Structure formats: structure tokens, C-alpha cells
Amino acid sequence: MKAIVKLVSIALITSALFVSNALAHGSLEPKHGGVVKEAHDMVFEVVREEKSVSLYVRDHGEAYPTTELLANVVVLAGKEKSEAPFIPSGGNKMVANITIIDGATVLVRVSQGEHHPITIRYSF
């Protein structure tokens, strides 16, 4: 009886290790060299460009079309606050005409249709 309990316990622990990967909503590895966050089962990657900021959106590891998304970015750097809208740029990419300096806190707000907006916080 003790052997069966041990065997079942080991099987449950081992399966729990694999279930967490199976339930993930795609990789959190950056695909474009940015900073990745997950929110509401979606993956958002913010990439600092020289004169702009790019936002890439993925759902379950697949590119999510941004044509119907509304998004904006707020950059908080010291006592300064800057804001800009993201514009769809084809595929799963959106671009905002703003820059992010080192040490800034960035808030990205994304909404679609009648769904409530999602706010994601980044630190650079």
C-alpha cells in the first residue's frame, strides 16, 4: 500500500511539472529584442527603437492582428510624463512616436471593442 501511495505521489508531482508548460499562453521570450509581459492570456512585447516604440502582441504564441486594437503608451521619467497613441503597423505590430529613456516607467494600455482595457507596466 505504501508503495502505491509513493508511486501515485511521484506521478502527480511529475505531471504537475509538465502541466504548467502546457497551460502557458506562449513563450515569454522576446522575439524582437524587447521586454515581454503577459496580461489577460496575451503576450505584449515593448521594443525601444531610436525614435519610436514598437508593441508586438501575441496570443498562444501566434501573432495577434492589431488592426482592431486601440493602444497608447505613457512614459514616466523623473518628473516628466509623455504620452502617445500606438498606430497599427501591419501584422501584430503597433508603433508609437515616442522614446523611452533608461530608468523610465512605461504604462501600455490596450483595448479592443467592448472588452475592458488592459494596462501593462514596464520598467526600463
pLDDT in tens, 84-104: 999 999 999 999 999 999 999
* CATH code of the domain covering residue 35: 2.60.40.2480
Q: What pLDDT shows up at residue 28?
A: 74
Within a domain: 53: yes
Q: Which domain holds residue 98?
A: 25-123
Contacts of 59-64 with CB under 8 Å at 24 or more apart are: 59/25, 59/26, 60/25, 60/26, 61/25, 61/26, 61/27, 62/26, 63/91, 63/92, 64/92
CA distance 100 to 77: 8
- Cβ–Cβ contacts within 10 Å for residue 121, how many? 12
pLDDT in tens, 44-69: 999 999 999 999 999 988 999 999 89
Q: What pLDDT shows up at residue 1?
A: 57
Within a domain: 13: no
